[in-house]
């Protein structure tokens, strides 16, 4: 099923390329960027908010998973993207929600322990899965999706910024990421694409 979705995305690639990587939210046009070839997602386990091991390959058994890397002290982009993810979930029907997981991976595990991540994701939507873990493991998983992760220099306030990705990634049942969306994707656009991907699956 997931392999069929990857083939459908590959077939749509020329159309998307002609549209600059995005299409209008009508018909079967997709707003995200098809990854050809898709990223192979690392199986390195992270830690969920219950303290249990969680791998983006071994523990994502639904047809589609959306993944975003950020951190709870992020002053801007993370909150925007998380709100988009929560709004997307609100636009989907029960059958679509049953086939979808949304995962937030912190890039700042020094400050984002299990409890902190749980409070953060719950504030957007309790169904969102929050992950933390050892920084090296998070970097390994991030690298498999071309997400650069780096702790910035200390600021005068005493805090620090963290370099992280700003995109949302799709992970399919083949443990590959065939598609991604930029930070400015709207809730309606993302919900449209999720519906198309699930229907084609």
Going from N- to C-terminal start, the domains of the chain cover 35-190
For residue 148, the model assigns a pLDDT of 81
What is the second-level CATH architecture of the domain 35-190? 3-Layer(aba) Sandwich (3.40)
**Which residue(s) pair with 106 in the sheet?**
70
For residue 123, the model assigns a pLDDT of 98
For residue 76, the model assigns a pLDDT of 84
* Contact predicate 171/177, CB 8 Å: yes
* Contact predicate 59/146, CB 8 Å: no
Report the alpha-carbon distance of residue 155 to residue 23 in Å, rounded: 40
For residue 101, the model assigns a pLDDT of 98
List per-residue pLDDT tens for the chain, 201 residues long. 444 444 334 433 333 332 233 333 334 589 999 999 999 999 999 999 999 999 999 998 899 999 999 999 888 899 999 999 999 999 999 999 999 999 999 999 999 999 999 999 999 999 999 999 998 999 999 999 999 886 555 544 444 456 667 899 999 999 999 999 999 999 999 999 999 999 986
* Contact predicate 46/54, CB 8 Å: yes
For residue 13, the model assigns a pLDDT of 38
């Amino acid at each position: 099923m997931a392999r069929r979705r990857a083939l459908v995305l590959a077939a749509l690639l020329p159309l998307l390329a002609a549209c600059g990587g995005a299409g209008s939210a009508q018909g079967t046009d997709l707003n995200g960027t098809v990854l050809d070839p898709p990223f192979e997602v690392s199986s390195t386990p992270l830690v969920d908010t219950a303290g249990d091991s969680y791998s983006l390959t071994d523990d994502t058994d639904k047809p589609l998973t959306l993944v975003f890397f950020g951190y709870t002290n992020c002053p801007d982009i993370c909150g925007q993207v998380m709100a988009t993810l929560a709004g997307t979930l609100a636009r989907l029907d029960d059958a679509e929600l049953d086939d979808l997981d949304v995962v937030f991976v912190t890039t700042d595990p020094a400050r984002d322990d299990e409890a902190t991540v749980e409070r953060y994701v719950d504030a957007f939507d309790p169904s969102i899965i929050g992950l933390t873990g050892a920084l090296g493991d998070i970097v390994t998983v991030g690298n498999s999706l071309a997400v650069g992760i780096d702790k910035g220099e200390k600021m005068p306030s005493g805090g620090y910024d963290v370099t992280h990705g700003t995109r949302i990634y799709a992970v399919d049942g083949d443990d590959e990421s065939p598609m991604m969306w930029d930070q400015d994707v709207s809730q309606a656009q993302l919900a449209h694409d999720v519906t198309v991907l699930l229907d084609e699956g």
